[in-house]
Amino acid sequence: NGDGFGIGWYAERPEPGVYREVMPAWSDDNLLALSGTLRSRLFFAHVRAATAGGIARTNCHPFRHGRWLFMHNGQIGGYPQLRRALVADLPDSFYAARRGATDSELLFLLAMARVDRGADAHEAMLEVLDDTRMLMQQHGIEPPLRFAAALADGERLYAFRIASDDSPPTLYQRDCRHGTVIASEPLDDDEPGWMPLAAGAVVTLHA
């Protein structure tokens, strides 16, 4: 995928660091330098194939809000028809925090608004997905909602594999001596232990 990339990581501060660019990841010397020096207990990494929103740094994942990081593979079916209604659900402070034009960032901020009101993070995200699917049904939208995503606050990580049809984007988990890896595809077919997550799965990892 060549529509931009991003990495996020947790270090000494509660808030994560983020580096995002619109060029292909393989062309960025700064990414190569960072990758050789950064140390973290939790990394996010994303390469983008644009669906909603143009090619811009503000549309590259991962997205950050306070101590939270989020990245997403998939799309909201019929997003242009739903965008106004979904944006209308954002409180003013979260509307002001929106920087890009993607459905991914909007889903993230809708969930963060619920977390801000006291909801558990994974429940907040599932509620946002349920509300979005109901809105799709009300508008008679047939293209599916597909959602493979990761959400973290530095101490907990949630991974989701959900869709409104039978074809959610793939997610795999592998436990190794370095920790746990969750990826959209196995990073190396020669490495044993990659386990596909079931459709509808929500995985929670703790520090």
- Which pLDDT tens digit goes with each residue over 158-201? 999 999 999 999 999 999 888 999 999 998 877 789 999 999 99
Neighbours of 175 (CB within 10 A): 11
For CA atoms 155, 121, 169, 17, the dihedral sign is negative
pLDDT at 50: 67
- Which pLDDT tens digit goes with each residue over 90-110? 999 999 999 988 999 999 999
Q: Is the pTM of this model over 0.85?
A: yes
Cα 69 to Cα 46: distance, rounded to the nearest angstrom: 12
Choose between 187 and 1: higher pLDDT: 187
Task: Supply the mean pLDDT for the chain.
Answer: 93
